[in-house]
């Protein structure tokens, strides 16, 4: 595109507004696209994302609108920007389901009214000229097919988004019935032969340009097969291969096609039939990501739910934040409740999702799943773009360059301003709140309804080039609105919060500016990665041009109430697919006490929960009593029509976190018995009452009940209350017996609950005989047991139940000396052992060594540590773990003798050990010292 000088006559240039903020962008982008288009055979080979094409479309549409409003001529403007015109036209063609409407869709997508005169400029007769002017092959041979001149565009699109479901289904069908060729390229040729007989979708392309079609389909075949063969980790495997390459092959999927294939397989995995109209499987968090926990006003690293192989109970992670690595474990998730009577749960166990607070702005975070040898590098805060962008549900959008939300949440410096550089305006801030632990940073709720771009501007920092800004276009985004707060203390068996009103689908004004048809389908929610039963067939929704709101579960549709847990899908005319999980018991009202349940000697304080239905007949117990031993109970909500939803009733209970020496932070419900010196006064005492409380305070009392010290708790988010325990550091060593009690006000009444009983420390002995562990005096709770010849292993949990003896797990018999640590049981909260035993742990002598992998490298290492072998393994994972035990997150877990043996093992393979240190959790600042302490500094690196 050539721009004119300000003194040039407007009649000589199609540019009518020389002050347009997007003029320089249009000129530069046109030149860049023209160069890149000239280097590819077809448009789909362009190394560009759909996200970037959305930004180009938005900015190009805004540029054209301004020039036309200033008097510019549409035809001249399109001719001046042939690469931009062809790119946006092909992108709209790739997404639109109804190809006859493409000329109008081109203008609508740009935000301009598709008048007859404008439509004529981009009708089928002009496609050859538009492609040629952009430097693309007009593909004259494609005209011979049934698509006519439209075939030119489809040749460059390759595989339109709307064709992907049927293509994958054909590939899947042949794969499952045994007719598929083993080689992906040969199978692609066979698929082309099948499709060539059809006159719709990819059929004309396969008939007229079979070689091109086969080249594009072959990598899709490979992707489908890879996804089918790796159902749990296929997304990471494809991402790790890079550049669209399919692992195990040399086939490369064009980025635009790969995006569509990945999205389809994510919602409807390999093997799904009738996939176009299916809702698909429940979504599972399967990739680490940053998330915004708005309720707690913090940014977190969210570790995903990982399916566990048979016999595994945890996944280990390495997390590296700004050069300071740390280790974490995610364990098998608690089931929401026991299965309904008569039913058996067959779902595979998965780990719980774990949110790790990110306590300061960082550029990137390294994440590695040690159990499956998968790794990620997550982008954090860029100094040149100091912002994290999230949806209102907390999903991160920072790496997106096109935003399709009318409202977003941003994490940004407090002295910054959200601006729209394209329109040169300030973006309205709906609300603002501080961000925990990030000094000088805030969370802002931004209204993007009138914005075209988004940039977080800081004082004294010049604005960047337009081409690097995020664009905003909310027209294609459907918003699922939950009109009410979930019913408190209630969830479905699938773990969903339960609502009493219908889910609403809110549509923005349509892209076309005319009524559009969307399709609604609903299935039962069967859980993440599981396919539910279809509840309703796909039905059309006519969305008015101005947009509107639809009740997904229309209360006027039936005489009986909506009862169930569902997965809802909305499919749009541009291959959009939006889904939402939702549990509803229409009209349900619940009455429960307005104070949390408290742990007493017999258990939790008993409570009665009362249920009321709405105007429609609902079959549900009038009330349910929870006894002191019951954390939750089940009831079933039913209708006369036979719909039923089992519900888990779990009223809020007060949970607290009181750190004990030698334990990790854990949320407890029941009181602990501990010596005063066993409390870790370097930490904070925390509570989560589950509902509103006032004036919480921790009171330390002596053996007679007299208060010695009172600490008042504070809160930032009304979710977690806390106070530092450091003021107790001088008091507790002098206190032999006493108690710690929490006092607070709720429901207009004062409440008090004991969280710790302080008793003098008890000296105990422990011995192991014939697989039976004896501890004297008998422990009241349970013990955690670690094998000292395998200090990298997690502890086993053994419950003594008040007895002096208990059998240890078989893999700890003849496993060498053991470390045993007592802990207080909790009937209502899951407790997990720390990575290493604490200072009060008991040592139990025993012969042998751990057999972790039946003669593998870990067993050989245990034998080496126990002194029963001279062979030190050189497996990379083994050496990395040795560094973790010696100086990383497991440091302090090994005995002195084991430490010497492990340093000797590292010295046997110095070169491999040095490389392993770089993959370990030894902090980067500590590595030179560890290099010296380990003796590797004197070892020959050969």
Q: What is the 3-state secondary structure (H, E, C) of 442-503?
A: EEEEEECCCCCEEEEECCCCCCCCHHHCEEECHHHCCEEECCCCCCCCEEECCCCEEECCCC
Using a 10 angstrom Cβ sphere, with 0-12 exposed, 13-18 middle and 19 or more buried, the burial of residue 237 is: middle
**Could you tell me where the beta strands, DSSP code E, fall in 777-845?**
782-787, 796-799, 805-807, 818-823, 842-844
In this prediction, residue 801 carries a pLDDT of 83
Tokens of 906: 């590292």
Give the number of other CB atoms < 10 A from CB of residue 940: 6
Range of weakest confidence among 90-104, 167-181, 605-619, 863-877:
863-877
Q: How confident is the model at residue 335 (pLDDT cuts 50, 70, 90)?
A: low
Query: Is residue 284 over pLDDT 90?
Result: no
Orientation angle between helical segments 210-229 and 255-267, nearest 10 degrees: 40
Residue labelled with tokens 């709307």: 162
In angstroms, rounded to a whole number, what is the distance separating the alpha carbons of residues 703 and 456?
58
- pLDDT at residue number 342: 36
DSSP 872-932: ----HHHHHHHHHHHHSTTTT-S-HHHHHHHHHHHHHSHHHHHHHHHTSSS-GGGHHHHHH
pLDDT confidence tier of residue 891, bands split at 50, 70 and 90? low
Q: For residue 7, what pLDDT is reported?
A: 37
| Residue range 646-650: mean pLDDT, rounded | 97
Bridge partners for 542 per DSSP? 517
Instruction: Report the mean per-residue pLDDT for the chain.
Output: 92
pLDDT over 80 at 937, yes or no: no
Element spanning 6, H or E: none
pLDDT at 516 over 90: yes
pLDDT value at residue 313: 86
The tokens of 441 are what? 């940073």
Residue bearing the bigger pLDDT, 912 or 212 = 212
Are the beta carbons of 914 and 941 closer than 8 angstroms?
yes
The pair of three-digit structure tokens given for residue 736, joined into one six-digit string = 């032999």
pLDDT of 625 reads 97
pLDDT, tens only, 422-446: 999 999 999 999 999 999 999 999 9
Phi, psi of 920 (to 5 degrees): -90, -175
Lowest-pLDDT range of 29-33, 234-238, 410-414: 234-238
Q: Number of C-alpha atoms within 13 angstroms, CB side, residue 827?
A: 13
Neighbours of 310 (CB within 10 A): 6
The 10 Å CB-count burial string (b at 16+, else e) for 904-920 is ebbebbbeebbebbebb
pLDDT for residue 6 is more than 50: no
**pLDDT at position 8 over 60:** no
Q: Are strands 441-447 and 374-379 parallel, antiparallel or unpaired?
A: unpaired
Helices (H), 96-247: 102-109, 116-121, 127-133, 150-157, 164-177, 184-195, 203-208, 210-229, 234-241
Torsion angles phi and psi, residue 158, rounded to 5: 80, -80
Please count the other Cβ atoms lying within 10 Å of the Cβ belonging to residue 348: 12
Query: What is the mean pLDDT of the segment spanning 230-234?
Result: 90
Which pTM value belongs to this model? 0.89
Whether 4 shows a pLDDT value over 50: the answer reads no
The pLDDT, as a whole number, for residue 57 is 98
Q: How confident is the model over 453-481, as a mean pLDDT?
A: 94
Q: What percent of the chain has pLDDT over 90?
A: 77
Give me the pLDDT at residue 241, please.
Answer: 65
CA distances from 75 to 10, 68, 117, 122, 877 (A): 15, 10, 10, 9, 64
Cα 566 to Cα 576: distance, rounded to the nearest angstrom: 20
**Nearest alpha carbon to residue 142 among 212, 203, 205:** 205
User: Is the bond into 421 cis (omega within 30 degrees of 0)?
Assistant: no
Domains of the chain, start order: 10-157 (no CATH), 161-277 (no CATH), 289-339+348-476 (no CATH), 484-504+516-651 (no CATH), 655-758 (2.60.40.10), 765-844 (2.60.40), 857-938 (no CATH)
**Which of 278, 163, 267, 270 lies closest to 519 in space, CA to CA?**
278
Residue 343 has pLDDT above 70, yes or no: no
Q: pLDDT value at position 880? A: 85
- CA distances to 224, 243, 368 from 247, rounded to whole Å, are 12, 11, 19
- Residue 692's region, left for phi above 0, alpha for psi from -120 to 50, else beta, is beta
**SS3 label, residue 173:** helix
Please answer whether residues 678 and 840 qualify as being in contact, where contact means their C-beta atoms are separated by less than 8 angstroms: yes
* Residue showing tokens 């007493």: 600
Alpha-carbon distance of 520 to 569, in angstroms, equals: 6
Interval 894-932: pLDDT, tens = 677 777 888 888 888 888 888 888 888 788 788 888 888
Sign of CA dihedral 462, 468, 471, 477: negative
Average pLDDT of the segment spanning 760-780: 95
Residue found under tokens 């489809």: 154
Q: Residue 661: is its pLDDT beyond 70?
A: yes
Structure tokens at 621: 């117990």
**High-pLDDT (> 70) share of the chain, %:** 96
pLDDT of 283? 87
Q: What is the mean pLDDT of residues 537-554?
A: 95
Banded pLDDT at 888 (limits 50, 70, 90): low
Q: What is the pLDDT of residue 903?
A: 83
């Amino acid at each position: 595109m050539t721009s004119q000088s300000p003194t040039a006559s407007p009649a000589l240039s199609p540019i009518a507004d020389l002050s347009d903020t997007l003029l320089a962008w249009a000129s530069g982008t046109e030149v860049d696209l023209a160069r890149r288009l000239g280097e590819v055979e077809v448009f789909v080979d362009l190394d560009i994302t759909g996200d970037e094409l959305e930004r180009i479309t938005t900015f190009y549409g805004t540029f054209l609108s301004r020039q036309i409003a200033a008097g510019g001529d549409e035809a001249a403007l399109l001719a001046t920007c042939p690469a931009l015109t062809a790119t946006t036209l092909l992108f709209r063609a790739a997404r639109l389901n109804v190809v006859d409407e493409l000329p109008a869709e081109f203008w609508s997508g740009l935000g301009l009214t598709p008048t007859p005169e404008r439509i004529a400029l981009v009708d089928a007769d002009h496609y050859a000229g538009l492609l040629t002017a952009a430097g693309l092959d007009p593909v004259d041979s494609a005209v011979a097919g049934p698509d006519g001149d439209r075939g030119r565009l489809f040749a460059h699109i390759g595989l339109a988004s709307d064709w992907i479901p049927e293509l994958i289904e054909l590939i899947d069908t042949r794969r499952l019935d045994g007719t598929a060729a083993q080689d992906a390229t040969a199978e692609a040729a066979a698929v082309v032969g099948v499709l060539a007989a059809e006159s719709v979708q990819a059929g004309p392309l396969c008939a007229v340009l079979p070689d091109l079609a086969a080249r594009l389909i072959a990598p899709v075949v490979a992707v489908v097969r890879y996804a089918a063969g790796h159902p749990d980790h296929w997304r990471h495997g494809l991402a790790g291969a890079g550049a669209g390459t399919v692992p195990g092959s040399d086939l490369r999927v064009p980025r635009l096609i790969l995006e569509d294939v990945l999205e389809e397989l994510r919602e409807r995995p390999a093997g799904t039939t009738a996939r176009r109209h299916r809702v698909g499987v429940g979504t599972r968090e399967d990739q680490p990501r940053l998330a915004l926990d708005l309720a707690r006003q913090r940014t977190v690293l969210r570790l995903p739910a990982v399916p566990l192989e048979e016999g595994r109970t945890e996944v280990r992670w390495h997390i590296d934040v700004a050069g300071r690595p740390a280790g974490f474990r995610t364990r098998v998730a608690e089931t929401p409740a026991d299965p309904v009577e008569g039913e058996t749960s067959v779902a595979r166990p998965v780990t719980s999702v774990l949110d790790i607070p990110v306590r300061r702005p960082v550029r990137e975070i390294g994440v590695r799943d040690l159990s499956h040898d998968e790794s990620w590098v997550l982008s954090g805060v860029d100094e040149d773009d100091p912002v994290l962008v999230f949806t209102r549900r907390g999903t991160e959008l920072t790496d997106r360059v096109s935003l399709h939300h009318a409202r977003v949440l941003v994490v940004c410096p407090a002295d910054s301003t959200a601006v729209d550089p394209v329109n040169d305006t300030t973006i309205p801030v709906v609300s603002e709140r501080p961000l925990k632990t990030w000094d000088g940073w805030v969370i802002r709720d931004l209204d993007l309804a009138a914005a075209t771009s988004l940039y977080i501007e800081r004082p004294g920092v010049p604005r960047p080039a337009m081409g690097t800004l995020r664009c905003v276009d909310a027209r294609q985004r459907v918003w699922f609105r939950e009109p009410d707060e979930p019913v408190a203390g209630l969830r479905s068996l699938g773990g969903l919060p339960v609502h009493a009103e219908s889910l609403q689908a809110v549509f923005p004004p349509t892209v076309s500016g005319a009524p559009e048809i969307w399709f609604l389908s609903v299935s039962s929610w069967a859980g993440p990665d599981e396919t539910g039963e279809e509840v309703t067939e796909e039905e059309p929704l006519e969305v008015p041009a101005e947009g509107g709101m639809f009740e997904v579960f229309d209360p006027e549709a039936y005489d009986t109430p909506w009862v169930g847990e569902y997965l809802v899908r909305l499919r749009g005319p541009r291959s959009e697919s939006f889904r939402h999980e939702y549990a509803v018991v229409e009209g349900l009202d619940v009455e429960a006490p307005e104070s949390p349940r408290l742990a007493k000697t017999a258990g939790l304080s008993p409570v009665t929960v009362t249920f009321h239905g709405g105007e429609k007949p609902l079959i549900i117990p009038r009330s349910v009593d929870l006894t002191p031993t019951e954390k939750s109970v089940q009831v079933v909500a039913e209708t006369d029509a036979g719909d039923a939803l089992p519900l888990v009733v779990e009223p809020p209970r007060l949970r607290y976190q009181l750190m004990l020496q030698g334990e990790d932070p854990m949320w407890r419900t029941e009181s602990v018995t501990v010596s005063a010196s066993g409390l870790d006064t370097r930490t904070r005492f925390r509570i989560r009452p589950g509902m509103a409380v006032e004036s919480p305070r921790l009171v330390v009392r002596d053996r007679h009940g007299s208060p010695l010290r009172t600490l008042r708790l504070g809160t930032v988010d009304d979710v977690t209350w806390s106070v530092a325990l450091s003021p107790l550091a001088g008091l507790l060593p002098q206190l032999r017996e006493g108690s710690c009690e929490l006092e607070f006000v709720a429901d207009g009444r004062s409440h008090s609950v004991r969280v710790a009983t302080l008793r003098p420390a008890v000296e105990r002995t422990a011995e192991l005989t014939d697989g039976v562990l004896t501890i004297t005096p008998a422990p009241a709770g349970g013990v955690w047991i670690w094998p000292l010849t395998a200090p990298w292993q997690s502890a086993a949990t053994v419950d003594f139940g008040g007895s002096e003896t208990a059998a240890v797990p078989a893999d700890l018999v003849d496993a060498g000396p053991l470390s045993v640590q007592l802990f207080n049981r909790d009937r209502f909260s899951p407790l997990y052992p720390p990575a290493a035993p604490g200072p009060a742990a008991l040592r139990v002598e025993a012969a042998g060594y751990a057999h972790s992998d039946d003669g593998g490298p870990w067993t050989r290492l245990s034998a080496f540590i126990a002194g029963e072998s001279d062979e030190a393994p050189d497996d990379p994972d083994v050496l990395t773990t040795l560094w973790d035990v010696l100086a990383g997150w497991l440091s302090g877990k090994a005995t002195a003798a084991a430490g010497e043996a492990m340093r000797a093992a590292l010295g046997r393979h110095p070169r491999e050990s040095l490389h392993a240190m770089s993959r370990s959790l030894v902090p980067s600042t500590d590595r030179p010292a560890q290099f010296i302490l380990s003796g590797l500094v004197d070892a020959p690196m050969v």
